[in-house]
Amino acid sequence: MSLRATITTWIVAVAISALAALAWQYGESEEDVVLRTAVLDAGFDVEAIDRVVIERPMADDGSEPGGGSGLVFELGDEGWRQTSPFEIVAEGFPIRRVLVAAADLSASRRTPLAALDGRDGPDLAGVGLDPPVAVVRFRGPDGEHRVELGARTVAGRSWIRVGEEDEALVVGDDLHERVLDDDPRNWRSRRLFSSDREIDAISISNGEAVIELQRNGRRWRLTEPVASRGDATTIDGLVGILGRVEHDGFVRDGDFDRARFGLDPAAAVIEVVRDDGRRERLLIGGPAGLVSRDRFAMVDGTPMVVRLDEATLRGLLPSVATLIEPTGSGIRPADVKSIEITAEDEFVRLERDLDRWRIEVVEDGERVVGETSAELVDALMATLAETRATEVAIQSFPQALTVATVVFNGFDGRPLDAVRIAREGPGGRWAFENGDGVLRILPASAELPLSIASWPRLEP
């Protein structure tokens, strides 16, 4: 290497070293770059924002694209709620995603408004800011932060303007996606029955059919269309559905003609009464399509039409037969002290004696007392009080087919329940009824010891 080349190499090396030292001492750290390019000031704290407003221009047809004009979400003690144009529970997760997207905004380009050349001034319309595509306002402890969303550019970038600043910024389009692509109506809760209070009563009107259920402690009773015992398994399932059921999509907000959606009058109405007396009503309207079995619906008092799919409707509109307890009697076997069976002209009385059962019958005009099979008594009570019917029918008892009446008495000597038993001739199906106008039907294979001859008398 020549002397000249060597000297040149040393000069370049010394220069690079000097520049590196200066950059280390006076240069900007990565954090400084973020602070310099951050769009919102350090006072924008995601955890402290308690109000978000989304403003969108109205469409030519008067509809509200992408969530509508003036959607207001506020944070309260019970979480986020939409408070305008009407009040409804909101989901916190999508709102937090918007707050994070706003906090993460950083500018890759800052252009003074004066540099946006237009014939009569800055060309804000050219970058989608006159008018803006949307306006987002965030309220925090230090006041309100306003962000105008403008046109999208290439490579996932978009124009915005912050507050009244005299510059337009190019930023990533994450906030645009959260506000424009994700309809802010989806920030609302989709739950149809929003309260978490316990349900005390349920009313279902489906055309001419009406079902009314009333809770008494942990048990349910039907009061319409018949007064009968409610099936705990099915009704608890219905209560669970009401507690978590969600609609399948937003259709329309604001002022609308209910009749257009089959909601005036509604095809079906579901009302729940909470333990604090609050009532919630769901109106189910007409078909939501020519082929689809989906239907329109709305929560009474909330100006919002939603869609319910067929599976959701099936869960909300059960048949009355599935809600009736399908056992012949509602007694608990442990509460029974004695049983009286009247089968045509025969009479059998069974009485509990600790872990044994004593039997009393009348044969040839004489009263006969003895001990009988406890297993057979347990089997009788299980058939009448625990076996679920294969079919439930709301109809009057077929008196002409009566074969027996069974009365259960408690330890205080008072009747607990009486079950009438009918049969479709010898070898036919059985039907039980205990005064509620409902027949519980069991197959012919069921065995019931009703006659005197059915009961063995054990030697003492």
How many domains does the chain divide into? Answer: 4
Confidence of residue 253 (pLDDT cuts 50, 70, 90): confident
- The three-state secondary structure class of 128 is coil
Residue closest to 370 by CA, chosen among 428, 456, 272, 307: 456
C-alpha 424/C-alpha 44 separation (Å) is: 78
Confidence of residue 29 (pLDDT cuts 50, 70, 90): very low
CB 100 within 8 A of CB 177: no
Q: Are residues 305 and 357 in the same domain?
A: no
Domain boundary among 266, 287, 318: 318
Residue 327 is assigned to a structural domain of this protein: no
Q: Are residues 293 and 412 in the same domain?
A: no
Cβ neighbour number for residue 254 with a 10 Å cutoff? 14
Would the pLDDT of 146 be above 60? yes
The two structure tokens encoding residue 115: 């540099």
Q: Are residues 246 and 297 in the same domain?
A: yes
pLDDT digit string (tens) for 119-141?
555 688 889 998 999 999 999 98
Q: Are residues 81 and 117 in the same domain?
A: yes
Q: Are residues 352 and 395 in the same domain?
A: yes
Give the burial string for 379-397 (b: 16+ CB within 10 Å, else e): ebbebbbebebeebeeeeb
Rg (CA), the chain: 38
Range of the domain at 158: 38-187
Residue 131 is assigned to a structural domain of this protein: yes
Q: Are residues 407 and 287 in the same domain?
A: no
Q: Are residues 313 and 396 in the same domain?
A: no
Instruction: Provide mean pLDDT across the span 432-442.
Output: 95
Residue 166 is assigned to a structural domain of this protein: yes
Strands of the sheet with 415-423, listed across from one edge: 366-372, 356-363, 346-353, 338-343, 402-409, 415-423, 430-433, 438-442, 391-394
Instruction: Provide mean pLDDT across the span 447-459.
Output: 87
Q: Are residues 295 and 390 in the same domain?
A: no
Q: What CATH number corresponds to the domain at position 98?
A: 2.60.40
- Strand 402-409 to 391-394 pairing: unpaired
Strand partners, 199: 274
Full-model pTM: 0.77
Residue 324 is assigned to a structural domain of this protein: no
Q: Are residues 54 and 98 in the same domain?
A: yes
Q: Are residues 28 and 44 in the same domain?
A: no
CB 377 within 8 A of CB 350: yes
Question: How many residues are given for the chain?
Answer: 460
Q: Are residues 7 and 46 in the same domain?
A: no
Instruction: Provide mean pLDDT across the span 50-78.
Output: 73
Q: Are residues 303 and 281 in the same domain?
A: yes
Distance from chain centroid for Cα 403 = 47
